[in-house]
Amino acid sequence: MITSMLRQLCQNSNFLLVILIALTLVTVSGVAGAILPAGVGTYPSLADTTIDTLAEGLARNDFTSVDLQKSTPDALLIASMLDYERAVGNTRGSLHGIPLLLKDNIATFDTGSWALVGAKVSHDATVVEKLRLAGAIILGKTSLSEWADWRSLNSNNGWSARNGQVSDPYFRNEDPWGSSSGSGVASTLGLALASVGTETDGSIISPASFKNLVGIKPTVGLTSRHLVIPVREHQDTIGPLARNVKDAAYILQAIAGVDPRDNYTSAIPGHKAPDYLTAYKTSRLSGRRIGIPRNVISLLADDTTGPMMNAFEDAVKVMKRAGAIIVEDTDFPTATEFWDSPLSTRILNADFVVNLRTYLTSLPTRDTGLWDGALSNWNNTDPRFWPAYQQLLYYGEEGGLLGAIKRHALDAVVLPANFAPDWAAAAGSPIVTVPMGSYPAGVSVTKDSWGMVESAPNIPEVTLIGTAYAFEQRTMARNKVRPYLSPRIDLMDVVSNA
């Protein structure tokens, strides 16, 4: 059903891109951090560099792929091979020799949770195969909220038994949000050029929001989920977290495409992903119809969201000055009903028990007997599942995001990032999140039930990507705030000591 639905909705390939823009506000600590310089001479700062800048330096032989990473022997060997390929004129593409990190639920042959120790896969996940083919160097894995935040009703974001608690680099002890929490922290600090995360409902968009990053949550089916630990097949998707829109699109270009091992990807129009690299024009906002579902904002805003909404309204003005047509009150008719309904969680649970069992069965070596016994409740083969799923689709489609786009002939919908994930998740639709500013001085520090900071003073696919790029280039909000904590060694130090 989902495949045929996507085919119907994707007659125009722009559907893969044109849905939701989420704008983000970050928290920045008043504590001075180790701020790295912008770069000296031919050596860019890894905390702020871009794929284009690194590619130019590699092409001039200012530095090598080996210089960009000094981690594991495997990665060093791969970097040396890629440097040789470049030297003899064989450059694979824009990611050739670029170091990336993966969320720890994406399988690699050269391998969370302690429950999967020893469960080595026979080959890489499809998105990893694609990244390696494009020349990317996989440095390693990033910590995540254990089981992608689907392990407990009383657990905090960014915690796993293997790696402990991840926290945010912009404010001490800030909630990192998740579940791609480690991917977000690593990307914003420049521990790799960017990272790849997964999202079921907010797990790319939320950490990108709190890390001052661009996150792209693709349409479900645009990127293969093969050998990615599943939560919900109807919503799971894989996408990049990067420091700018263009870098995120480079990575999406590399990982998107049809995979016979994930039948959802067969719905991609023409069985080929669009060329996202044609989207970079600052004029992309001009003439775009961008809707604001004010009833969603009214439903979710409270006495803590004032600074965020002020920044959001300023961002809308930027879009308007750039020629965008702002369409007010493009409301989601079922917003309140959907928000109050337990249906989304019920459907997610039903998918999870079957999807996880299927994944565990595929592992060549495993000791998961306890899990096998537990995964036997209400699932997506139950007669109750299908009508419940149809109701959830209605909330996301005609009664929600897609219906608003259709009724008002919109190119995109814009919301604060905190308010965005659920509506797109229900329909399997894409989101791009872009920084819009930081919380002002004087905002009270608020903490969640685990004592992690939620807000504080100074907290900083083609049409959709193009629109996000045009907004980013007009504001460059990411550059206006800095983490309180940064690496103290940069590329210049590595090359100088080589």
Q: What is the pLDDT of residues 342-362, one digit of tens each?
A: 888 788 777 776 776 777 666
By C-alpha distance, which of 122, 32, 14 is closest to 410? 14
pLDDT value at position 330?
Answer: 95
- Percentage above 90 pLDDT, the chain: 34
**Quick one: pLDDT band at residue 38, thresholds 50, 70, 90?**
very low
Q: Could you tell me the CA-to-CA distances from 87 to 52, 83, 439 in Å, in that order? A: 18, 6, 47
- H-helix or E-strand containing 250? helix 245-255
pLDDT over 50 at 30, yes or no: no
pLDDT value at position 469?
Answer: 87
By C-alpha distance, which of 453, 380, 457 is closest to 158? 453
66: tokens are 């080996």
Q: Which of 29, 94, 103, 180 is catalytic?
A: 103
- H-helix or E-strand containing 248? helix 245-255
Instruction: Please state the rounded mean pLDDT for residues 270-284.
Output: 82
Determine the distance from the C-alpha atom of residue 93 to the mean position of all C-alpha atoms in its chain, rounded to a whole number.
22
Q: Could you tell me the CA-to-CA distances from 240 to 91, 103, 297, 369, 462 in Å, in that order? A: 22, 10, 26, 34, 15
40: tokens are 């000296």
Has 438 been annotated as catalytic? no
What is d(CA 270, CA 421) in angstroms, rounded to the nearest whole number?
A: 28
pLDDT value at position 116?
Answer: 58
Q: Tokens 């689709």 appear where?
A: 393
**Quick one: pLDDT band at residue 109, thresholds 50, 70, 90?**
low
- H-helix or E-strand containing 310? helix 306-321
pLDDT value at position 5?
Answer: 36
pLDDT value at position 455?
Answer: 44
Determine the distance from the C-alpha atom of residue 230 to the mean position of all C-alpha atoms in its chain, rounded to a whole number.
16
pLDDT over 90 at 370, yes or no: no
What is d(CA 305, CA 84) in angstroms, rounded to the nearest whole number?
A: 52
What is d(CA 121, CA 110) in angstroms, rounded to the nearest whole number?
A: 9
Q: What is the pLDDT of residues 137-195, one digit of tens each?
A: 999 888 776 665 656 556 677 666 676 777 777 777 777 777 777 888 889 888 899 99
Q: Which of 179, 181, 187, 438 is catalytic?
A: 179
Tell the burial category of 482 from Cβ atoms under 10 Å away from its Cβ (0-12, 13-18, 19+). buried
How would you classify the pairing of strands 214-217 and 431-438?
Answer: antiparallel
pLDDT value at position 113?
Answer: 52
Q: How many domains does the chain have?
A: 1
pLDDT value at position 289?
Answer: 93
Instruction: Please state the rounded mean pLDDT for residues 457-471.
Output: 69
* Residue-range definition of the domain harbouring residue 136: 2-496
34-43, 94-103, 460-469: which is most confident: 94-103
What is d(CA 229, CA 307) in angstroms, rounded to the nearest whole number?
A: 37
- Amino acid in the structure at residue 207: P
pLDDT value at position 351?
Answer: 76
Q: Of 424 and 354, which is predicted with more confidence? A: 424
| Residues contacting residue 489 through CB under 8 Å, at least 6 positions apart | none
- What CATH number does the domain containing 478 carry? 3.90.1300.10
Q: Would you tell me how many other CB atoms lie within 10 Å of the CB of residue 114? A: 10
What is d(CA 79, CA 312) in angstroms, rounded to the nearest whole number?
A: 42
pLDDT over 80 at 31, yes or no: no
What is d(CA 335, CA 180) in angstroms, rounded to the nearest whole number?
A: 26
CB 251 within 8 A of CB 242: yes
**Quick one: pLDDT band at residue 334, thresholds 50, 70, 90?**
very high
Sheet containing 194-199, strands listed edge to edge, beginning at the edge strand earlier in sequence: 137-142, 99-103, 194-199, 237-242, 214-217, 431-438, 20-26, 412-416, 289-292, 325-328
Query: Average per-residue pLDDT in the chain?
Result: 79
Q: What is the pLDDT of residues 63-107, one digit of tens each?
A: 999 998 876 677 888 999 999 999 999 999 999 999 999 988 888
- H-helix or E-strand containing 131? helix 126-133
CB 217 within 8 A of CB 236: no
Has 203 been annotated as catalytic? yes
Under DSSP, the state recorded for 95 is T
Tell the burial category of 257 from Cβ atoms under 10 Å away from its Cβ (0-12, 13-18, 19+). middle
484: tokens are 């309180």
